[in-house]
Amino acid sequence: MRSGYLFALLPIAALVSACSSTPSDSSSQRYTPSPSQAEMRQTSPAFAHYTQDVVLDDLWNRPGLNQRDRSIVTLSALIAQNQTIELPFHFRRALDNGVTPLELSELITHLAFYSGWANATSATAILNEVFDERGISNADTPAMPEQRLPLDEEAEQQRQNIVQETYGGVSPGVLHYTTDVLFLDLWLRPGLVPRDRSLVTVSALVATGQAEQVTFHLNRAMDNGLSKAQASEVLTQLAFYAGWPRVFSAMPVFKSVFEERGVLNQPANDAS
């Protein structure tokens, strides 16, 4: 190993502990364990280097978006792409970064609707193991909240009118569930605030290459409190977790939304 190549031990060690923390019942694990630090250095020293020095030590510590939000963005990208191998590590990291167990439950449920049911099933199986490790449970949380967030009835009526006019003849079933289950139910659940639901949705859309759906949801995210500097860093985080091309395809859409809202020239708190 060349001198000058210093490999900080901690974060990958934490990743490794996924394997070693439950040695006796590893055969019942629901996920493929990530490669250990030694395995990564043996197989791809370059990938081990970028993972540690660029992603874990640099990207995650950038200003503009705090670590809790980076966890939400990263988990949304991983779940939406059904990339389970890093989920145990990032569920633990999210809990350490202050994402609550209930928020994780709501994030998964939100992505069932926004990225396909089975992705949420996979994520639930893995989160269940992470909760077991830590003695966490959401079992006492009601499946249906007693109270819901207030609805902006005018905006919702307008949305329904536009969608009904445009697609009423195409699929009444889709429109029925869009109204009754998504906008009058899911988005009003208090376990995850609307700004975070928007963060989850935008991250999933960029990660799965659905730039054409980003305009509506990025505007909604910024209406719900996401700043321009934060949105800018969401793209930086996603470049690594969804890949450069996905982010470059989303960039023109972010630019249009920033322009329309008059925030394009607002500083992005970049410290690079």
Per CB under 8 A, contacts with its own copies among 7-66 are: 26-28, 30-35, 39-51, 54-55, 59, 62, 64
Chain positions 77 to 136 lying near its own copies, rule: CB under 8 A, are 77-78, 81-86, 104-106, 108-109, 112-122, 124-125, 127-128, 131
What minimum distance in Å lies between the beta carbon of 157 and its own copies? 19
Q: Which long-range contacts (CB under 8 A, 24 or more apart) does 147-153 make?
A: 147/190, 148/185, 148/188, 148/189, 148/190, 149/187, 149/188, 149/189, 149/190, 149/194, 150/188, 151/184, 151/188
Question: Which residue from 2, 25, 135, 154 is in contact with its own copies, where contact means CB under 8 A?
Answer: 2
Chain positions 183 to 202 lying near its own copies, rule: CB under 8 A, are 189, 191
Task: Measure the CA–CA gap between 9 and 53, rounded to whole angstroms.
Answer: 11
Task: Measure the CA–CA gap between 112 and 248, rounded to whole angstroms.
Answer: 26
SS3 state of residue 106 = helix
Q: Which is nearer to its own copies, 191 or 226 (CB)?
A: 191
Q: Which is nearer to its own copies, 157 or 177 (CB)?
A: 177
Applying CB under 8 A, the span of 92-100, 153-161, 210-218, 219-227 interacting with its own copies comes to 210-218
Question: Which residue from 23, 24, 135, 146 is in contact with its own copies, where contact means CB under 8 A?
Answer: 146
Which is nearest to 114 in space by CA: 196, 239, 202? 202
Task: Measure the CA–CA gap between 181 and 161, rounded to whole angstroms.
Answer: 17
What minimum distance in Å lies between the beta carbon of 156 and its own copies? 16
Q: What angle do CA 154, 158, 160 make, to 5 degrees?
A: 115
Judged by CB under 8 A, the number of residues near its own copies is 115
What minimum distance in Å lies between the beta carbon of 25 and its own copies? 11
Q: At 31, list the tokens.
A: 């996920």
- Check residue 218 for interaction with its own copies (CB under 8 A): no
Phi, psi of 47 (to 5 degrees): -65, -40
Applying CB under 8 A, the span of 92-100, 154-162, 218-226, 238-246 interacting with its own copies comes to 238-246
Phi-psi region of 64 (alpha: psi -120 to 50; beta: other; left: phi over 0): left
User: Are 64 and 233 in contact, with CB atoms under 8 Å apart?
Assistant: yes
Applying CB under 8 A, the span of 92-100, 148-156, 175-183, 219-227 interacting with its own copies comes to 175-183
Q: Which is nearer to its own copies, 49 or 195 (CB)?
A: 49
Question: Which residue from 96, 212, 225, 260 is in contact with its own copies, where contact means CB under 8 A?
Answer: 212
Q: Which is nearer to its own copies, 53 or 223 (CB)?
A: 53
Residues near 153 by beta carbon (within 8 Å), at least 6 away in sequence: none
User: Are 52 and 8 in contact, with CB atoms under 8 Å apart?
Assistant: yes
- Check residue 149 for interaction with its own copies (CB under 8 A): no
User: Are 229 and 268 in contact, with CB atoms under 8 Å apart?
Assistant: yes
- Check residue 262 for interaction with its own copies (CB under 8 A): no
Question: Which residue from 20, 21, 141, 157 is in contact with its own copies, where contact means CB under 8 A?
Answer: 141
